[in-house]
Homo-oligomer: A and B are copies of this chain.
Amino acid sequence: MKLTLSEIADHVDGRAIGNTSCLISGVSEIQDSKKETITFLGNLAYKKYLLKTKAKAVFVTDIKLLEGRNGIIVKNPQLAMAKTLNLYFPSVNKGSTIHPSAVINNKSKLSKNIGIGANAIIMSGTKVGEGSFIGENTVIGQNVVIGSNCYFNPNVTIYDNSIIGNNVIIHSGTVIGSDGFGYVTENNIHYKIPQTGNVIIEDDVEIGSNCSIDKATIGSTIIGKASKLDNLGQIAHNVKIGKGCLMAAQFGISGSTIIGDSCIFAGRVGVAGHLEIGPNSIFAAKSGVTKSLSGGKVYAGYPAREIREHNKRQAIFNKIGKLYNNLNKFEDFLLNK
């Protein structure tokens, strides 16, 4: 497919500059830009790549950056890039057909325009909303509620009684509603605490592959509206994740912890149980959170503290060798006095 620069500009609400009728056949990244494509300068640190770009046009925020090249002026080049990718790669419609090999309990309720992949399983009492797609070999337990326009990839597992909103995307291997890790130990025997709750996933959530999201012991584990979770993450029983959070891969949130709205987790962040983390918290990679935090700040380290304080400590730790040597010099000095 080829589009003119002005067609793309119209789609992203931008202003085309230069040869506005030149033909663009795709999007490429500025470090590895391809001929006939449009690329984008999202981060000024990548400006050096602009000089030698092979791309036919560039999304920029300011006409000066173009230096005579073709381009489109937009407020957010990365967002323009995302919208343009959608033009070239419209989301694949896996179809609204139900594969004959799918095993659908006759006590389930399917809305219109639903796609169900081969060998998928829908158990009794479960509802699937309009326009949703259930991938191949995905297993949906009993009495689950799935909203409209959801997209579940193959090999997903949803335990009984889960409630899932609209426009939710779940990737392969992810398990929603496995039992929380709860035992009472008496006389060296671990008695299992029945895990009687469920998981609620609100609208517009996306969950990556191979995540484990445990049901609540009593009540609900909740993933708030429009939160986006990456791969291989653990959400323990009774956790509540706020709205609009971003959590990079290999996160681990322990039981009953509450994460406020709009928090951002870099990779492999761990949070202990029974904590309350305020909204708009940002955690550096590998942070280990051991105390409740008021939020609105950037945190790092283990135990996690405000990143400024963390960096100060690290800077001093970096001088620990000099510290040690000085101390030895003083010792000599004092002893020899």
Is the CB of A44 closer than 8 A to any CB of chain B? no
> By DSSP majority rule, is chain A's interface helix, strand, loop, or mixed?
loop
**A256 CB → nearest B CB, Å:** 8
**Could you tell me the distance between the alpha carbons of A203 and B308 in the complex, rounded to whole angstroms?**
46
Q: Give the interface segment out of A3-11, A108-116, A241-249.
A: A241-249
Interface window among A17-25, A60-68, A126-134, A177-185: A177-185
- Distance between A274 CB and nearest chain B CB, rounded to angstroms: 9
**A185 to B282 CA separation, bound complex (whole angstroms):** 15
A96 to chain B, nearest CB (A): 16
Tell me whether A162 is interfacial, beta carbon within 8 Å. no
Q: Among B81, B91, B188, B234, which residue has its beta carbon within 8 angstroms of that of A250?
A: B234
Whether the Cβ atoms of B173 and A157 lie closer than 8 Å is yes
Tell me the chain A residues, 164-185 only, with Cβ under 8 Å from chain B: 169, 171-175, 178-179, 181, 183-185
Name the distance in Å between A75's Cβ and chain B's nearest Cβ: 8
The reply to whether the CB of A312 lies closer than 8 angstroms to some CB of chain B is: yes
- Interface hits, A279-337 → B, CB 8 Å: 285-286, 288, 290, 302, 312-313, 316-317, 319-321, 323-324, 326-327, 330-331, 333-334
Given contacts A27-B218, A139-B154, A214-B231, A196 and B88 within 8 Å (CB-CB): yes
Chain B neighbourhood of A316, CB < 8 A: 320-321, 324
Chain B nearest CB, measured from A158 CB (Å) = 9
Task: Report whether A190 and B230 are in contact in the complex, using a CB–CB cutoff of 8 Å.
Answer: no
> In the complex, what residues of B have CB within 8 A of residue A272's CB?
267, 285
Q: A155 to B119: give the CA distance in the assembly, Å.
A: 12
Question: What's the least CB distance linking A290 to chain B, in Å?
Answer: 8
A231 and B231 form a contact (CB under 8 A): no
Residues B119 and A210 in contact, CB atoms below 8 Å apart: no
Chain B residues within 8 Å of A212, by CB: 173, 208-210, 231-232, 249
Tell me if A226 is interfacial: C-beta within 8 Å of chain B.
Answer: yes
**Which one of B86, B137, B169 lies within 8 Å of A121 (CB-CB)?**
B137
User: In the bound complex, do residue B288 and residue A285 qualify as a contact, i.e. CB atoms below 8 Å apart?
Assistant: yes
Q: Closest CB-CB distance, A147 to chain B, in whole Å?
A: 17
CA distance A208 to B169 in the complex (A): 23
Jot down 25 A-B pairs with beta carbons below 8 A, ordered by A. A28-B218, A79-B186, A83-B191, A85-B193, A85-B194, A85-B218, A88-B196, A91-B194, A135-B139, A136-B139, A137-B139, A137-B155, A139-B155, A157-B173, A169-B179, A172-B178, A173-B173, A178-B231, A181-B208, A192-B206, A210-B211, A232-B234, A250-B250, A270-B286, A286-B288
Extra 8 A-B pairs, beta carbons < 8 Å, given A92-B160, A121-B136, A326-B331: A82-B193, A101-B103, A154-B157, A175-B210, A181-B230, A208-B212, A268-B270, A319-B324
